[in-house]
Amino acid sequence: MSSRLRPAAEVLVVFALAGALAGCGGSSGPSPSIAAKASTTISTGGCADVRAVKASLSALAQVRPLRDGVPALQAAIANVKTSLDAAAASASAILQPELAQVKSAFAAVQRSVTGLSTGNVTQKAPSIVVALTQLGWAASGLASTLTQNCPGS
């Protein structure tokens, strides 16, 4: 494999995740009526755990395996898994459908990076890009629900 192809594949993976997660940005916050509804239906801890998922996904988007190393990617993936597990345990029923979609998409990311090394980034890049794109769509849905139902998100 050409050493010139590896950085190109890495950039493709990073841009796919960054672009897919672009929809996860916050807004000015929910309307007062939504905030009032959220205060009666969603715990502060559940919202905080879901915000932690959003933050861990953003951190994952910043990892560049060739620059930071495959262990940095593995650590970011482990952080996403930890935050997803915590959110699934604490989030309200309102957030659970979107969390389930993110968990499913994240499982595909985990499968796509199984056995990833600096030497095989180019071969694995297409499946990683597909999985990251699906994760981005799921994360976008979660971010939208989070904004609507969790004050300050």
**Rounded to an integer, what distance in angstroms lies between the CA atom of residue 47 and that of residue 30?**
13
Which pLDDT tens digit goes with each residue over 21-72? 444 444 444 433 333 343 434 566 788 898 999 999 999 989 887 788 888 9
Residue 153 has pLDDT above 90, yes or no: no
Tell which residue, 4, 1, 2, 8, has the closest CA to residue 129: 8
> What CATH number is given to the structural domain containing 69?
1.20.1440
**Rounded to an integer, what distance in angstroms lies between the CA atom of residue 118 and that of residue 122?**
9
pLDDT of residue 122: 82
Residue 25 covered by a domain? no
Residue 68 covered by a domain? yes
pLDDT of residue 69: 83
pLDDT of residue 22: 43
Residue 23 covered by a domain? no
Residue 141 covered by a domain? yes
Tell which residue, 152, 144, 115, 113, has the closest CA to residue 130: 113
Question: In which domain, by residue range, is 125 found?
Answer: 5-18+31-149
**Rounded to an integer, what distance in angstroms lies between the CA atom of residue 76 and that of residue 85?**
14
Residue 26 covered by a domain? no
Residue 52 covered by a domain? yes
Q: Which residue has the tokens 């799921």?
A: 138
Tell which residue, 101, 112, 113, 111, has the closest CA to residue 139: 101
Residue 24 covered by a domain? no
- Count of domains in the chain? 1
Residue 72 covered by a domain? yes
**Rounded to an integer, what distance in angstroms lies between the CA atom of residue 108 and that of residue 60?**
15
How many residues are recorded in the chain? 153
* Percent of the chain predicted with pLDDT > 70: 70
pLDDT of residue 11: 43
pTM for the model stands at 0.71
